[in-house]
Structure 1
């Protein structure tokens, strides 16, 4: 075990060893909930940067450790081993990106169906079976003015809150119904 630590703390393996300690500490903090796994808003081949960088460090560390043990490099050769281990780390990390990408699916694209079930505020003078617009706020806080229709004869005028309950794909409009606050208007 002493030989392992001696090799890990000898140049060139000491450089990625320090980085590996940082990576392991980071993932321990993530495991215990003290850090966020997505601290870098960056994608490396469809995989979060934290995962890609962690793999790069681990593969580079292993390559430099193997080079240190096998070659017992001098300073000049040590730089070559360090560069070679980085190259090996990059190649192996890149090879793992495609299979790992399946574990990190993209967020589904926004859809008009996301508005179904949300309240909206009527923005036109009235809503009929053939005419109307309303403003709806998406889950992310953004708002949109959309085409709306109603099936009945309820009083839906500007400023009234309604509920979007369906989307008509062919007509490209939303069906709405009034939201009553405990009493039915006369």
Structure 2
């Protein structure tokens, strides 16, 4: 047991031992509700960054410990090589483990045409009828799209008019729109008060 502690507290393993203690303390705090897990995605698999970094540190620590036991580095330079190799092994193992883990973490649902229902749009064609029309609609992320639109009535929906998308026709692949002009408000002239 003394050899284990000597290896774990000697260079280069000691560098990763400190980080491993921090990781273990962090996850204990998360387990007892004293800290929140950070749900930011890491590039190497699409799982929370805290989990990815924790795995990287743990795998690198084990690889560094194994490297010290196997190679018994005689110098600081050789120990630095073991540390670098351990980090590479840790990164590879983390990526291998994180790939199947990403299925456990939900991602944003894919964008759907139904996301446009309930949004306003601006008519882009000269008119909108029961069989013809196009409008521009802005999505929640700020991007815009030109979509096919139809109206069930005879409202004067012309270019530049704002309309409300109230339904999507799956078979026809178009949106049903209605005029937002609920009532007519007369324009005031200079003499009207």
- What's the secondary structure of 2:104's corresponding residue? coil
Does the aligned pair in 1 maintain the 2:38–2:48 contact within 8 Å?
A: no
Q: Which has the larger radius of gyration?
A: 2
Partner of 1:108: 109
Q: Find the aligned partners of 1:107 and 1:63 in 2 and give their Cα distance.
A: 35
Give, in angstroms, the shift of residue 51 of structure 1. Answer: 3.2
Residues in 2 aligned to 1:117 and 1:131: alpha-carbon distance in whole angstroms: 20
The TM-score, its normalising length taken from structure 1, stands at: 0.70
2:169 equivalent to 1:163 = no
Farther-moved stretch of structure 1 (41-50 vs 104-113): 41-50
Match for residue 53 of structure 1? 53
Q: 1:84 Cα shift?
A: 5.9
Runs (4+) of structure 1 exceeding 6 A deviation are: 2-5, 24-29
Deviates more, 1:145-154 or 1:2-11: 2-11
- The equivalent of 2:141 in structure 1 is 140
C-alpha distance after superposition, 1:105-146 (max 9, x if no partner): 443332222211211122223211011121110001011221
Q: How many residues align?
A: 179
Structure 2: stretches of 5+ with no match in the other structure: 187-193
Seen in structure 2, the aligned counterparts of structure 1 residues 83 and 114 have a Cα distance that, compared at 3 Å, is same
1:11 aligned partner: 11
Report the TM-score when normalising by structure 2: 0.68
DSSP-derived class of the 1:16 partner: helix
